[in-house]
Amino acid sequence: MTKKERAMEIADILESLYPDTPIPLQHQDPYTLLVAVLLSAQCTDVRVNQITPHLFAAADNPFDMSLLPVEKVEDIIRPCGLAPRKSKAIVDLSKILVEKYAGEVPQTFAELEALPGVGHKTASVVMSQAFGFPAFPVDTHIHRLAYRWCLSTGKNVEKTEKDLKRLFPEEIWNKLHLQIIFFGREYCPARGHDMETCPICSKYGRKSLMK
């Protein structure tokens, strides 16, 4: 079996388990999604979803957010971690959206990645989930599972993204990256993982393939 054939069988398993893929981060529009994804760095989606209602009650658009003191934003988002850096980025990017984009979130990777606090992974999530652009956001969980399933060498997230894009059809990227995240949380955790009972690792895991 080729790696591409194995990848497609894994995709079939994921589709059977997760035919519906709701976006884990609660949001109302591209702007609130952008802010939520920025907050999710080194923080769980559950915690972000607990904090964003309080933040968006204070400001849920770039016009209002740009007027908030950074200290107020920092105080609200403190439970998400990295609050000083994230709060400054949120206020600064909001000002840029108002001044340069009339309050709209830009729809290109280059423009998104030029915003404060927005890296390639955050831009990929916004492009795929807010605008439907084919993208394959790779976080640490997807990076780990791609290595565990022998779909990538695991050298870095950039290499993993390229490997996964080569293996899977573009039309399933947006859904598949969410399916992998859901699967990792339910069946394939980083620690305490039982390879023998895992629906994918038991068949296609690195240890299984090396037997």
Q: Are residues 74 and 106 in the same domain?
A: yes
Same domain, 53 and 15: no
Query: Are 54 and 89 found together in one domain?
Result: yes
State whether 141 and 87 are in the same domain: no
Selected catalytic residue, list 12, 45, 86, 139: 139
CATH number of 198's domain: 1.10.1670.10
Q: Which residues are CB-contacts of 204 (< 8 A; sequence separation ≥ 6)?
A: 6, 9, 10, 149, 150
Same domain for 101 and 141? no
Domain boundary among the residues 87, 104, 129 is at 129
How far apart are the C-alpha atoms of 153 and 147, rounded to whole Å? 6
Which CATH number does the domain housing residue 113 bear? Answer: 1.10.340.30
Within this chain, do residues 125 and 142 fall inside the same structural domain, yes or no? no
Q: For residues 43 and 121, what is the distance between their CA atoms, to the nearest angstrom?
A: 14
| pLDDT tens series, the chain, 211 aa | 899 999 999 999 999 999 999 999 999 999 999 999 999 999 999 999 999 999 999 999 999 999 999 999 999 999 999 999 999 999 999 999 999 999 999 999 999 999 999 999 999 999 999 999 999 999 888 999 999 999 998 789 999 999 999 999 999 999 999 999 999 999 999 888 888 899 999 999 876 554 4
Predicted confidence at residue 207, as pLDDT, reads 64
Number of domains present in the structure of the chain: 2
Residue 121 annotated in active site: yes
pLDDT at 209: 56
Res 211: pLDDT: 46
Distance in angstroms (rounded) separating the CA atoms of residues 91 and 69: 8
Residues 36 and 110 in one domain: yes
Task: Give Cα separations from 205 to 5, 107, 148, 173 (angstroms).
Answer: 14, 37, 6, 21
Domain of 151, in residue numbers: 3-21+136-209
123 and 143 together in one domain: no
Same domain for 57 and 89:
yes
Output phi, psi for 116, to 5 deg.
-60, 135
Domain end residue (candidates: 99, 129, 159): 129
pLDDT of residue 208: 57
pLDDT score for 142: 95
Last-in-domain residue among 129, 145, 161:
129
Catalytic residue among 60, 86, 121, 163: 121
Residue 139 bears catalytic tag: yes
> Is the domain of 11 the same as that of 42?
no
Q: Residue 170's pLDDT is what?
A: 97
Q: Taking the model in full, what pTM does it have?
A: 0.93
